[in-house]
Amino acid sequence: MDNYIVSARKYRPATFHSVVGQKSLTTTLKNAINNRKLAHAYLFCGPRGVGKTTCARIFAKTINCFQPTPDGEACNECESCRSFNENRSLNIHELDAASNNSVDDIRALTEQVRIMPQLGKYKVYIIDEVHMLTQAAFNAFLKTLEEPPHHALFILATTEKHKILPTILSRCQIYDFNRIGINDIVEYLEYVAGQENIVCEPEALNVIAQKADGGMRDALSIFDQAVSFSQGNVTYQTVIENLNVLDYDYYFRMTDAILQNDVPKCLLLLNEILSKGFDGQHIISGLSLFFRDILVCKDPQTIVLFEVGDAVKEKYIESARRCETDFLYKAMELANETDLNYRYSKNKRFSLELLLVRLCQLKASPEEGDKKKIVIEPIGREEEAKTDAKPQVLKDAPAVATEIGKAPEAPVKPIARVRLNGNPEQAGKPNPVASPDESLSQDQPFSQDDLVRVWKKYAAQSQDVYLKNMMSYINPQLKDNYKIEVEALNPHFKESSPVIKEYLVSELGNRHIELDIRIKKEDHTQTLFTDKEKYLYMVDKNPHLKDLVQAFNLRLN
């Protein structure tokens, strides 16, 4: 137990050939060694755990090897290689810039550069996390980095290339390391498992590789953790349990329920997932990625982008056969919309449940869609309600909701009204009405009190705060021949007059209603206007202001 070494250190590559996932870079470095065209400064940059420092050490060992192999590898037999392998080489110096980032540290380094190597041809200085150097330290390092002695060679390593000064970048050969692919990580983990006599399922190693996010060091650390948890038998179930990874089987079951429009089953599955302690954001992002993977599996040309085991891939392909492309597009859009709004939601569980309900509605059966029709039912005197007249279908009209063939519960006025059943286009609009010719059988008389009552009713239910405020200050007056005089303070009230008139015609039951809108002249110096009224007044003076608001996507507070 005292001699135990973690896999990330025990199986650290010692040759260019054993470096995983960076073949193009290692080939370039070996060719430079074979052709004896070495630069005086290199910059290795890339994500964590992809082999930057490892390649720097291998490169330093190889250029000092006395008997390199024909393919550009170190022999590991000469005195220089043995001293490097035993960590006693005096030609290789490593500096951690995260803790040695001052000007004095760099000055001490430049003093050592003058000393010739005791054994070998080059003294190699590896500076890790070089972006942590201070501005003054970078400036002190510039001259030495540009014109070092012929025996000195610098290798800088960093994970944040954008933080390094351009003057430093211009003095180095830059090598960008890539994230290691999932298949490459799985193959190396299989090699390590074989060396340690550990039984592993391919699906388990694939989960570890995905969790590592392109870093081999992270993958080996997670692998050690999974081996300790499973007592040497690494299975898919033990890995997802140990790493708290949501099993993809839940996504398959949830997709089946969505395709069957089974909302209760989806909600029960969601409750089961949440009871296991998974975060809602994690569920949404996982569902989005799942739909993306299914879409990728629908086309043989894009299936290469999906890096999983063969057994799991077959499940995705089978699920892709049952999902239409349009459904996947809309499902990903809904999941992405929920993901963006989730952090701002006060009832986060409701957001998840609403997402599942909307996904189920994407696969609603045609029979259910036929129920969402717009119909007119006669509402009025009992003898009119008992007639055998068929209900008249009317589109784009408001109403009292009734299904086809269903009689109204209580008669009110001899006026036929309609209401939208499931039409999202009319959401938020103030009670649209049918045309007078289609909805009224005869004109009904009404009084001033009736007019005021209906006027206040419309103002109370209006969702436009600006219109509601204007109507609350207006006292309509009924004149002869059902002419209604309205005295408004703002000329923009006329824009809403057609909708208000239709509402009055429908509620009062009289097609001869006319609105006579007059704009009251007042002293503006004594009137308080809202922000919107001020804006509309400015637009009247200068119409270009409206274009400016639209161009910069401005809005009133």
82-97 pLDDT tens trace: 888 888 888 888 888 8
CATH of the domain at 189: 1.10.8.60
Q: Which two tokens stand for residue 91?
A: 């030609």
- 438 pLDDT above the threshold of 70: no
Looking at the domain assignment, is residue 206 inside a domain?
yes
In the structure, what pLDDT confidence band is assigned to residue 527 with cuts at 50, 70 and 90? Answer: low
Whether 231 and 347 map to the same domain: the answer is no
pLDDT at 521 over 60: yes
Q: Record the tokens describing residue 354, joined without a space.
A: 């609403």
**For residues 521-527, average pLDDT:** 54
d(Cα 145, Cα 149) in Å, to the nearest integer?
A: 10
23 part of a folded domain: yes
Same domain flag for 29 and 131: yes
Considering only residues 387 and 340, tell me which one the structure prediction assigns the higher pLDDT.
340
Higher-confidence residue of 523 and 158: namely 158
Overall average pLDDT of the 19-48 stretch: 89
Q: Please indicate, yes or no, if residue 205 is contained in any of the structural domains.
A: yes
Per-residue confidence at 364, pLDDT binned at 50, 70, 90? low
If asked whether residues 287 and 327 sit together in one domain, one would say yes
CATH number at residue 509: 3.30.70
And the tokens for 178? 């890539």
The residue from 364, 387, 406 where one domain ends is 364
Residue 273 and residue 357 in one domain: yes
Q: Is the pLDDT of residue 426 over 70?
A: no
Whether residue 204 is predicted with pLDDT greater than 80 in this model: the reply is: yes
Q: Looking at the structure, tell me whether residues 354 and 454 fall in a common domain.
A: no
Indicate whether 430 pLDDT > 70: no
In a domain, 256, yes or no: yes
What would the mean pLDDT of 392-414 be, rounded to a whole number? 41
- Identify whether residues 220 and 283 lie together within a single domain: no
Domain boundary among the residues 315, 331, 364 is at 364
For the cut 60, the answer to whether the pLDDT of residue 267 exceeds it is yes
Do 299 and 270 belong together in one domain?
yes
Burial class, 432, CB count within 10 angstroms (exposed 0-12 / middle 13-18 / buried 19+): middle
356: Cα within 13 Å, side-chain hemisphere = 26
Count how many domains the chain has.
4
SS3 category, 488: strand
pLDDT at 367 over 80: no
**419 has pLDDT over 80:** no
For residue 154, the model assigns a pLDDT of 92
Mean pLDDT of the chain: 79
State which residues form the domain around 202: 182-242
- pLDDT value of residue 157: 93
Position 461 scores a pLDDT of 83
pLDDT above 90 covers what percent of the chain? 9
User: What's the rounded mean pLDDT across residues 179-188?
Assistant: 88
At 376 the pLDDT is: 39
Average pLDDT over residues 518-525: 63
Domain membership flag for residue 215: yes
Residue predicted with more confidence, 118 or 46:
46
264 in any annotated domain: yes
The predicted model gives 459-484 an average pLDDT of 81
**pLDDT given at position 499:** 84
131 and 224 fall within a common domain: no
In this predicted structure, what is the pLDDT of residue 409?
Answer: 45
Together in a domain, 45 and 170:
yes
State mean pLDDT over 205-220: 87
Q: Do residues 221 and 255 both lie within one domain?
A: no
**Scanning the structure block, which residue is given the tokens 């909307």?**
358
Is the pLDDT confidence value at 555 over 60?
Answer: yes
Does 469 or 259 have the greater pLDDT score? Answer: 259
CB distance 262 to 360 below 8 Å? yes
Find out whether 509 and 446 touch, Cβ atoms under 8 Å: yes
User: With pLDDT > 70 as the criterion, what percentage of the chain qualifies?
Assistant: 83
CB of 248 within 8 A of CB of 290? yes
pLDDT at 411 over 60: no
pLDDT digit string (tens) for 14-33?
A: 888 888 888 889 999 988 88
Q: Cβ neighbours of residue 235 under 8 Å, at least 6 residues apart? A: 201, 204
List the single range of 11-25, 207-221, 411-425 with lowest mean pLDDT: 411-425
Q: What is the pLDDT of residue 211?
A: 86
Going by pLDDT thresholds of 50, 70 and 90, the confidence category of residue 321 is: confident
Looking up tokens 């030495």 gives 144
Tell me if 62 sits within 8 A of 68, measured CB to CB: yes
| Per-residue confidence band for 98, with pLDDT thresholds at 50, 70 and 90 | confident
* Residue 66 pLDDT > 70: yes
Q: What is the mean pLDDT of residues 60-68?
A: 89
Pair of tokens at residue 423: 């039409």
Q: Tell whether the model's pLDDT for residue 368 goes beyond 80.
A: no
At residue 385, φ and ψ (nearest 5 deg) are -70, -20
Q: Which of 284, 283, 310 is nearest to 297 (CA)?
A: 310
Per-residue pLDDT band at 42 (split at 50, 70, 90): very high
Is 426 contained in some domain? no
Structural domain includes residue 382: no
pLDDT of 401 over the 50 cut: no
Residue 526 above 60 pLDDT? no
Does the pLDDT at position 417 exceed 80? no
Whether 155 and 275 share a structural domain: no
Same domain, 194 and 161: no
Residue ending a domain, among 222, 242, 262, is 242
Which CATH number is 306's domain given? 1.20.272.10
User: Rounded to 5 degrees, what are φ and ψ at 89?
Assistant: -75, 135
